Amino acid sequence: MKIGILGAGSIACKMASTIRLMSQELWAIGSRSLVKAEAFARKFDIPCAYGSYEELASDPEVQLIYIATPHSAHLENILLCLENGKNVLCEKAFTLNAEQARKACLLSEKKGLLLAEAIWTRYLPSRLIIDECLKEIGDIRMLTANLSYCISTVERLTNPSLGGGALLDVGVYPLNFMAMCLGTGYESMQTSAALVGGVDQQHSITYVYPKGAIASIFGGTQFNSDQRGLIYGTEGSIEVENINNPTSISLFDKQCQLIRRIDAPKQLTGFEYEVQACIDAINKGLTECSQMPHAMTIAMMEMMDAVRSRWHMSYPGELDNK
Ligand SMILES: NC(=O)c1ccc[n+]([C@@H]2O[C@H](COP(=O)([O-])OP(=O)(O)OC[C@H]3O[C@@H](n4cnc5c(N)ncnc54)[C@H](OP(=O)(O)O)[C@@H]3O)[C@@H](O)[C@H]2O)c1
């Protein structure tokens, strides 16, 4: 499949290497700067380099566009690609808010084009390993997950105009981890955040689910956390090393004795699974990937909206996009 990349930033490089390793056709790169696009094209041996996103979106050869821009640009970029008849894989966080996500998904369905969120943990094989282990620990009573990196100086994260803050960038992973285990139907939520310059430097969120399960998740940009996820059930527990890219999953019995430890399978970069899911869905004529359907993407955005509303934190321009 002929794939184009929109935005020639850091994660775009990782995706370009992945597509090359997968032996898919990396056809075009679109950047706001032609010089930057040409340099990117040379580095990854890409036939077409465009100095605007519009030119990339209107290339008739491109079948799937991967969007790798700041959160604030995602909606506009998605709409541009869909309007030009392109299937889309868009980086997380999918949009600034749920309203934007609904608008994007509606257009994908209207056009009959694939639109998928590149939240890679939903597509990784480790997800299925965790699902199997969940069957062995009885009812989940408590869950905790954290993700924090030392990234406080990255402009994309500190600037509210770019959709900055820990929640949309890293907090989205503990949130998805929790939702993959407990679902989205929580009963109540409490949250605290350290807000600096209009965005959250770090946050904690505690959810209470029906039947009393409690989940406490944390995301931050100030230090490197252990990235661990722990799930405690009535019959045992699970420990996930690195919820952002699980390396191993350990299953314990109710006496906290190790039953088994499963290492995650070797991967190219880990991005190959989301790309393959898109290719499979496009080949079947689907508008969404079963691993992360539109309804789940929207539900995740709704949960983040609810958290931000407790903090009274909004992004410039997000209301304009409604
Ligand atoms: N899946 C993962 O593991 C992972 C990891 C990191 C980030 N991400 C996600 O990937 C996306 C991009 O992150 P990144 O770390 O690659 O960011 P980055 O290095 O800053 O690159 C973003 C690119 O977006 C383009 N862009 C468009 N409008 C822009 C604006 N107003 N300001 C700055 N850049 C703008 C630029 O490309 P041009 O100049 O070429 O147009 C820029 O190079 C985000 O959604 C982020 O959450 C995912």
Residues 32 and 92 in one domain: yes
Q: How far apart are the first and last CA of the chain?
A: 33
Average pLDDT over residues 1-11: 98
In the predicted structure, residue 322 carries a pLDDT above the cut 50: no
Ligand 1 atom with minimal separation from the 32 CA: 41
Average pLDDT over residues 102-115: 98
Tell me the CA–centroid distance for residue 6 and ligand 1, in Å: 9
- Cα–Cα distance for residue pair 86/84, rounded to 1 Å: 6
In the predicted structure, residue 320 carries a pLDDT above the cut 80: no
Q: Is 164 in the pocket of ligand 1 (CB under 6 A)?
A: no
In the predicted structure, residue 231 carries a pLDDT above the cut 70: yes
Pocket test for ligand 1, best of 5, 6, 11, 96 (most atoms within 8 A of CB): 11
**CATH (domain of 195):** 3.30.360.10
Ligand 1 atom with minimal separation from the 118 CA: 1
Residue range 52-92, pLDDT digits in tens: 999 999 999 999 999 999 999 999 999 999 999 999 999 99
Q: Is 274 in the pocket of ligand 1 (CB under 6 A)?
A: no
- CA-proximal residue: ligand 1, atom 43 (nearest): 9
Residues 131 and 227 in one domain: yes
Residues 140 and 251 in one domain: yes
Residue 301 lies in a domain: no
Pocket test for ligand 1, best of 46, 89, 91 (most atoms within 8 A of CB): 91
pLDDT value of residue 319: 62
Residue 320 lies in a domain: no
Average pLDDT over residues 308-321: 83
* Helix locations, the chain, DSSP H: 10-21, 34-44, 53-57, 74-83, 98-111, 126-134, 155-158, 166, 172-182, 272-283, 294-311
Residues 177 and 236 in one domain: yes
Average pLDDT over residues 12-39: 97
Average pLDDT over residues 162-187: 98
Q: Is 32 in the pocket of ligand 1 (CB under 6 A)?
A: yes
Average pLDDT over residues 109-127: 98
Contact (CB, 8 A) for 65 and 81: yes
Element (H, E) at 144: strand 140-148
pLDDT value of residue 57: 98
- Cα–Cα distance for residue pair 126/246, rounded to 1 Å: 6
- Tally of structural domains, the chain: 2
The mean pLDDT of the chain is 97
**CATH (domain of 68):** 3.40.50.720
Q: Would you call 256 exposed, middle or buried from its count of C-beta atoms within 10 A (0-12, 13-18, 19+)?
A: exposed
- Cα–Cα distance for residue pair 26/92, rounded to 1 Å: 21
Residue 295 lies in a domain: no
Q: Alpha-carbon dihedral of residues 297, 300, 305, 308, nearest 10 degrees?
A: -140
Residues 161 and 106 in one domain: no
Residue type (1 letter), 19: I
Instruction: Provide the domain limits for residue 191.
Output: 125-263
Q: Is 10 in the pocket of ligand 1 (CB under 6 A)?
A: yes
- CA-proximal residue: ligand 1, atom 37 (nearest): 7
